[in-house]
A and B are shown apart, each in its own frame.
Chain A
Amino acid sequence: MSEGPLIVQSDKTLLLDIDHPMSTECRRAIAPFAELERSPEHIHTYRLTNLGLWNARAAGHDAELVIDTLIKYSRYAVPHSLLVDVAETMSRYGRLRLEADPVHGLILITTDVGVLEEVIRAKKIAPLLGVRIDPETIAVHPSQRGAIKQSLLRLGWPAEDFAGYVDGQAHEINLKQNDWKIRPYQELAAEGFWHGGSGVVVLPCGAGKTIVGAAAMAHAKATTLILVTNTVAARQWRDELLRRTTLNEDEIGEYSGAKKEIRPVTIATYQVMTKKKNGVYSHLDLFDTHDWGLIIYDEVHLLPAPIFRFTADIQSRRRLGLTATLVREDGMEGEVFSLIGPKRFDVPWKEIEAQGYIAPAECIEVRVNLTEAERLSYATAEPEERYRYCATTRTKRDVVEELVGLHAGEQILVIGQYIDQLDDLSETLGVPVIKGETPIKERERLFAAFRTGEITCLVVSKVANFSIDLPEATIAIQVSGAFGSRQEEAQRLGRIVRPKADGRGAKFYSVVSRDTIDQDFAQNRQRFLAEQGYSYRIIDADDVFQGKI
């Protein structure tokens, strides 16, 4: 029996013992076909999925290689049925191909007539098809390229897409690496994406996803549409692109509520794209108005439904999704993969941290005892008001005040969900607050002041959850959140893990009311980070007051 680092489970999960000397080698070997699911301290969990195996086929790995890898690194004998299953799954790939035909346009062609007969009888697929050209070929409506790929995937007969991508209008873009250097994993991610054609890159917050985007643009050398979450993020993207690439200000346009510029590189917000005018998504035309060679979706885990639908129609354009946390509480992760493309790159947070590209962070849950009176009114509160009540208790304010005092001199963000609470905190702490109604100008001013150290403490609402680059923030204090949202917790941590100039570690405090649903939600919220290997420490509010943190 070999003593390998990998344990292959019968439910198709792979457990990788990372304390094993061969673990790094094994991780590299399985990464092309297995999806990383969890990466806590000792054992990482990967999963063999149909999608993952097909992607491996698409990337040129065959079943034999997968099986050999599993057997080579496995600690115990690999269940035969699993190997058979892997081989069978992978053999399903490529029996159908989408190709561009000079005469018939987009065609679906097969090497196995039986499979074609099966799929053209499927209810979901029949309406997407055109005329039968010969027994092995059938025409596909060009606009349905995304839809048919999605449906075929669901049927278990993924089509290999040879129809290629439109190059889009060429536009010279290069990286300008004069005072900085692209990091190895960023380069790998960009290359992984480029060779795959389309797909999603998963990188921790603060690991420089913008640069991956810029590198992808440098590969494409074509006009690019970038979709981001909000205007502040749009401007940050613009600044980054100006700094990292050869693009100049005239080449970059902003398409937001304020401005509607269309330039070779256009940065648009999700909000404006999904704005309805007379019941029509008038701005979705932006996808068509220009011959884009590349479309980048920032924070793809937030992709709104109308854009989902539209993305299905633009399968001939290269698409890059960027995210730190591909978890959606609505379970739409699969849709993201099938529309934007498969996961092209994913790396555990802790690994990037070990390489020094993100700051080490300590997660601390501060448990606050409710007073007797608070407990009683919590117990009798209406169910829908309960979370709000326990998340905004007065006792939390004292703890926050104390924490801010303990970290005086450091850059602190106080993050919360409820505006009343934030206003209250802002008043108590005597610091400015940024919330939804704060004008963009004011937001930018405050963020700039924070970056320069003019202001050391900011109270922010969920508007600062994403894409806001605050490199010197080291302390985050979370007082309330969007119930049990896992990705929100991770994104908030992401605000403070940008590497610090002095190499300092970050601290993420989550203030939680003991014995209430606040505590239950906190547990769910922490799951994503715990699975990424962040270990939470629980302390008592009294410890804070005694300065024991």
Chain B
Amino acid sequence: METRSFADYLRTLDDAALISLFSHRPDLVTPVPPDIASLAVRATSAPSLARAIDALTAWQYQVLEACAVSAEPFTEKNIASLTDKAAIFVLPGLIERGLIYTGKDGLYLPTTVREVLGNDCAGLGPQSMAKLNLKKLDEAPPAAKKALDAMVWGPPRGTIADVKKPGAGVAWLLENDFVVVANSHTVLMPREVAIYLRGGKIHKELFTKAPVLVGDKRDSKSVQLAAIANISTFLRWTEEILNFWAQEPADALRSGGLGVRDLKIISTHLGVDANCAAFVAELSYLAGLLTIDPDDRILPTSQFDIWLTQAPSARWQSLVAPWLITSRVSGLVGKEESKNVAPLGPELDRVAAAPLRKLTLRLLQESEGTAPQFASLLALAQWSTPAKRSGGIPSDYVLWTLREAEWLGLTGQGAISKYATALLAGEDLDVIDQDLPKPVDHILIQSDHTAIAPGPLEHEIAQELAILAEIESRGGATVYRFSEATIRRGLDHGRTGDEIKAFLKKTSKTPMPQPLEYLIADVAKKHGKLRVGNTSAFIRCEDSALIAQIINDKRLDILSLRQIAPEVLICQHDAADAMATLRSFGYLPAGEDSQGALLSGPRIQRAKSKARPPRIIGEFDRPDELQLEGALRALRTGEKSSHRQSTLRNIAANALGSLPRTTANETLDILVNYLQNQPATSLSIGYADNNGLVSHRIIDPLKLSAGSLIARDHATGEVQTFRIARITGVAAI
């Protein structure tokens, strides 16, 4: 029987077939292999095959299993009979992917595929060595039947007390080779027996068809409405979180990421749960709108300022685009079993995340107009990519993807929105800008000190109001509340009372209530009455004429004095300098301490800093005998060991080639001889370790006992026991 190699098969493929192979398995061309032989090696390497197999649907996977348990070469017919007639439509797909290939007289499977699929593929054991009379299975005694039933659907192993004394049923099976002995406690069911018992099939249940997606029909209009509400909400969240951190930056944890407390703060600020807040923060991070600066503070970037000026569609796109491809899973935050996972932290990456997200969105797209039920969507996702090897699709990830898609407005009421469809198709997103509520340019001020913006405010107005008032309620509209504190904040930002009034009058559609006008006037009147600043020294004098003279004295300009009251000057220089300068120009200042007490001029000065005597540099004292001896000992030991190590290694290297292979008896003789006649000689031995690897050791033999050599190993300097049987050879150095 001639078996063509997989490489030979690849060589026969035309361009179209190769391109189809590459499009299914892009890892084969990154980087492009130099020739077909390397392509074949790569295509049959376990990681690449694993990837390809993980991308199969449940039904394709079952067919591949059938192929793997069939004897090569196999035919479409074989496979169809093992599974279902529909399998013949699946085989070409597997061939395209290079998971099976056509040989001269049928289909073959690259050997590695079997390895990747694992032992007990489809719960089947190895092929039987003996000739089996399968018909006889039908007459199996009841005890044997019971044993068969336990093993038929895999795993194909059964544990029994002792194969030497099997029960009647197992004994009958052993006798007929329907099970074979694996080890003293285990029997195996051969593949043929299992297939016969499974009725000539392999699988208990065939997943030929994708499960039907069950969901609730959604009216397209309300889907779009809900989606656009979600989009505008998400943009608002992002803006708010970043504005919040711009004022009060959060501190990143030492291990990276956002702490639980800061997460709580922003989630309360947004009025959403922690998961949602974490997601918003993560996406801002991915979109480059915020960063962790060198001082470990979490701050918005200048990209955020650019982002703010963009159209809503562009803003949305720059948040959604990274979400589609990121491997970070913000849903992990706050999960019971992963308490230490922090948003913006280093532990959020999961390989499966992006493909799963893609798959989920594809399934949502295929069911446009319905909001799929979670269980149904999960079943379909699991059919589409069973990912058997990696333990299946984590249902949480699907749940999180759906949740996040809803937050982002990719879905509305659980059904895919037209905005998501446009985004995924790479179309223009202007439609978002058209569908979002039009920004309003006015507010309604009411007499209970609130103002209401009955829609999304124009950016400039919103920013100004955010300074002048506290936001009380968010959503389609915004409710602002004015208070003394917020008006003061406005004044602190450099607005005057009149400017604030003028702005509110201009922006408000309703007349400004009188109490608010009074409030602004009251606060403005009081604001800034007290002034606070930093200064280094002051000059005061009860005679304001003298103060006037000083401030007008040109020679004192170097002190850069400033008059803050008729009797007080301040200066940015140190008090001592100011006094010295004043003295040098003929004034007679006296020092004053912070309590106002007069300081008598310090004639004798004292340093303000702590004493730090310099280190002594000079000859060393002669160390005593004990210290010297100790030093010498340490030196010698070090030298000896390093010298011995290097020389011995040379010797060993030389001896390597010439080391005679001695039998155990010879070894023993040589060792006995050396121990008796030249006890202090170092010998070179080859010694096999537990894994059979032979290493060279230089040893000083000490004695022989009970089949072992006790010797000092030069490499470790320790006395070790070497078993004679493991010594591959011995020679003198």
B243 at the interface (CB under 8 A from A): no
Task: Tell me if A536 is interfacial: C-beta within 8 Å of chain B.
Answer: yes
Does A259 sit at the interface, judged by CB under 8 A? Answer: no
Q: Is the CB of B229 within 8 A of A80?
A: yes
A495-549 contacts to B, CB under 8 A, are 515, 526-527, 530-531, 533-538
Q: Which among A15, A74, A77, A531 has the greatest number of chain B C-beta atoms within 10 A? A: A77
Contact at B474–A530, with CB atoms within 8 Å?
no
Cross-chain pair count, CB within 8 angstroms:
104
**B236 nearest in chain A by CB position:** A10
Inter-chain CA distance A40–B514, complex, in Å, is: 14
Known A42-B446, A43-B452; contact A10-B437, beta-carbon cutoff 8 A: no
Query: Whose C-beta in chain A lies nearest to the C-beta of B438?
Result: A1
Interfacial residues of chain A within 43-85, with CB under 8 A of chain B in the complex: 43, 45, 71, 74-81
Residues of A within 8 A of B476 (CB): 7-9, 74-77
The residue from A9, A533, A537 contacting B477, defined by CB atoms under 8 A apart: A9
A8:B225 contact, CB within 8 angstroms: no
Contacts of B514 in A (CB 8 A): 535-538
Are B447 and A76 in contact (CB-based, < 8 A)? no
* Cβ of B365 under 8 Å from chain A: no
Q: Is B230 an interface residue (CB 8 A)?
A: yes
Nearest CB in chain A to that of B276: its residue = A81
Residue of A with least CB distance to B475: A9
- Given A78-B229, A536-B514, A536-B515, check contact A9 B448 (CB 8 Å): no
> Please, which residues of chain A bring their CB within 8 A of the CB of B479?
9, 13, 15, 45
Answer yes or no: B489 CB below 8 A from chain A CBs.
no
Docked pose: A195 CA to B528 CA in angstroms? 59
Indicate if the CB atoms of B230 and A10 lie closer than 8 Å.
Answer: no
Contact indicator A10/B515 (Cβ below 8 Å)? no
In the bound complex, do residue B475 and residue A79 qualify as a contact, i.e. CB atoms below 8 Å apart? yes
How many Å from the CB of B408 to the closest CB on chain A? 12
Residues of B within 8 A of A537 (CB): 514-515
Q: Give Cα distance in the complex from A42 to B444, angstroms.
A: 7
* Residues on the A chain within 8 Å of B226, using CB: 77-78, 80
Q: Which of B433-457 contact A (CB under 8 A)?
A: 437, 444, 446-450, 452, 454-455
A79–B271 contact, CB under 8 A? Answer: no
Q: Which residue of A lies closest to B452 (CB)?
A: A43
A76 to B448, CA, bound (A): 25
A residues near B522, Cβ cutoff 8 Å: 515
Is A134's CB within 8 Å of the partner chain B? Answer: no
Closest to A533 in B: B447
Question: Is A469 at the interface (CB under 8 A from chain B)?
Answer: no
B510 at the binding interface (Cβ < 8 Å): yes
A530 and B447 in contact, given A7-B476, A9-B476 (Cβ under 8 angstroms): yes
B176 at the interface (CB under 8 A from A): no
**Chain B residue at minimum C-beta to C-beta distance from A47:** B473
- Nearest CB in chain B to that of A526: its residue: B515
Q: Is the CB of B437 within 8 A of A41?
A: no
Least distance between B225 CB and chain A CB atoms (Å): 4
Majority secondary structure of chain B interface residues (helix, strand, loop or mixed): mixed
Q: Does A17 contact B (CB under 8 A)?
A: yes
Of the candidates B446, B475, B513, which one forms a contact with A10 in the assembled complex, judged by CB atoms under 8 Å apart?
B475
Where chain A touches its partner, the secondary structure class is mixed
Does B404 have its Cβ within 8 Å of any Cβ on chain A? no
Smallest beta-carbon distance B12→chain A, Å: 56
Q: Within the complex, what minimum Cβ distance (angstroms) separates B22 from chain A?
A: 42
A535 x B513 contact (CB < 8 A): yes
Assuming the contacts A41-B510, A538-B515, asked whether A13 and B473 have C-beta atoms less than 8 A apart, the reply is yes
Residue of A nearest to B271 (CB): A11
Give residues 5-52 of A contacting B (CB, 8 Å). Answer: 7-11, 13, 15, 17, 38, 40-43, 45
- Asked if A530 and B449 sit within 8 Å, CB to CB, the answer is yes
Q: Say yes or no: A80-B447 contact (C-beta < 8 A), given A9-B475, A15-B477, A41-B510.
A: no
List the B side residues contacting A74 at CB < 8 Å: 476
Interface centre among B226, B413, B475, B477 (most CB of A within 10 A): B475
* B229, B230, B510 pick with most chain A CB within 10 angstroms: B229
Closest to B448 in A: A530
Residues of A within 8 A of B518 (CB): 538
Cα distance A11–B526 in the bound complex, in angstroms: 35
Q: Is the C-beta of B406 less than 8 angstroms from some C-beta in chain A?
A: yes
In the complex, chain B residues whose CB is within 8 Å of the CB of A43? 444, 446, 452, 454
Q: Which residues of A lie under 8 Å from residue B437 when comparing CB positions?
A: 1, 76
Nearest CB on B from A523, distance (A): 8
Please give me the residue from chain A that is nearest to B437 by CB atom. A76
Task: Check if A80 sits within 8 Å of B413, measured CB to CB.
Answer: yes
Task: Confirm or deny: B369 has a beta carbon within 8 angstroms of a beta carbon on chain A.
Answer: no
- Say how far A61's CB is from chain B's closest CB, in angstroms: 21
Number of interface residues of A (CB under 8 A): 36
Q: Report whether A7 and B454 are in contact in the complex, using a CB–CB cutoff of 8 Å.
A: yes
Q: Mark B517-536, 1 if CB is under 8 A from A, else 0.
A: 01000100010000000000
Q: Considering the chains assembled together, what is the distance between the CA atoms of A546 and B707 in angstroms?
A: 126
Task: Verify if B412 is at the interface (C-beta below 8 Å from A).
Answer: yes
Question: Of B233, B449, B475, B513, which one neighbours A7 at CB under 8 angstroms?
Answer: B475
* Separation of A278 and B452 alpha carbons in the complex (Å): 56
Contact for B455 among A11, A76, A515, CB less than 8 A: A76
The docked-state distance in angstroms from the alpha carbon of A531 to that of B481 is 12
Chain B residue contacts of A38, Cβ below 8 A? 448, 450
Chain B positions within 8 Å of A17 at CB level: 454
Are B474 and A527 in contact, with the CB atoms below 8 A?
A: no
Say whether B228 faces chain A, with CB atoms less than 8 Å apart. yes
B455 & A10 in contact (Cβ 8 Å cutoff)? no
Q: How far is the CB of B457 from chain A (nearest CB, A)?
A: 13
Once the chains bind, are B446 and A77 in contact (CB under 8 Å)? no
Cross-chain contact B448 with A527 (CB below 8 angstroms): yes
In the assembled complex, the CB of A44 is this many whole angstroms from the nearest CB of chain B, namely 10
The answer for the CA separation of A495 and B515 in the assembled complex, in Å, is 23
CA distance in complex: A78, B413 (Å): 11
Closest to A10 in B: B475
A76-B437, A80-B230, A530-B449 known; A11 vs B473 contact (CB < 8 Å): yes
Specify which chain B residues have a CB less than 8 angstroms from the CB of A13 in the assembled complex. 473, 475, 479
0 or 1 for each of A351-376: is its CB under 8 Å from B? (1 = yes) = 00000000000000100000000000
Over the window 284-324 of chain B, the binary record of Cβ atoms lying under 8 Å from chain A Cβ atoms (1 yes, 0 no) is 00000000000000000000000000000000000000000
Q: How far is the CA of A22 from the CA of B233 in the complex (A)?
A: 26
Given A43-B446, A535-B447, does the pair A76, B452 have CB atoms closer than 8 Å? no
With A40-B447, A41-B447, A536-B514 as given contacts, are A77 and B225 in contact (CB-CB < 8 Å)? yes
Complex Cα–Cα for A526 and B510 (A): 21
Interface positions, chain B 413-466, Cβ under 8 Å from A, are 413, 437, 444, 446-450, 452, 454-455
Q: Is the CB of B412 within 8 A of A80?
A: yes
Q: Closest approach, in angstroms, between the C-beta of A539 and any C-beta of chain B?
A: 9
Whole-angstrom distance between the Cβ of A526 and the nearest chain B Cβ: 8
Residue contact A7 to B477, C-beta cutoff 8 Å: yes
Inter-chain contact B229/A76, CB cutoff 8 Å? yes
Note all chain A residues with C-beta closer than 8 A to B449: 530
**CA–CA, A536 and B516, complex, Å:** 10
Task: Report chain B residues within 8 Å CB of A536.
Answer: 447, 514-515
Q: A78-B229, A80-B229 are in contact. Are A11 and B448 (CB under 8 A)?
A: no
Across-interface contacts of B447 in A (CB, < 8 A): 40-41, 530, 533-536
Q: Which B residues are in CB contact (< 8 Å) with A535?
A: 447, 513-515
Determine whether the beta carbon of B452 is less than 8 Å from that of A42.
yes
Which residues of chain A have C-beta atoms less than 8 A from B455's C-beta? 7, 75-76
Cβ contact within 8 Å between B412 and A9:
no
Closest B residue to A367 by CB, please name it.
B518
Minimum distance in angstroms from A135 CB to a CB of chain B: 27
A-B contact pairs, 16 of them (CB 8 A): A7-B455, A8-B475, A8-B476, A10-B474, A15-B473, A38-B450, A42-B444, A42-B446, A42-B452, A43-B444, A76-B476, A77-B229, A80-B230, A365-B515, A536-B514, A538-B515
The 3 closest A-B pairs by CB, nearest first: A9-B475, A77-B229, A76-B476
B interface residues (Cβ-Cβ under 8 A, vs A)? 222, 225-226, 228-230, 233, 271, 406, 412-413, 437, 444, 446-450, 452, 454-455, 473-477, 479, 510, 513-515, 518, 522, 526
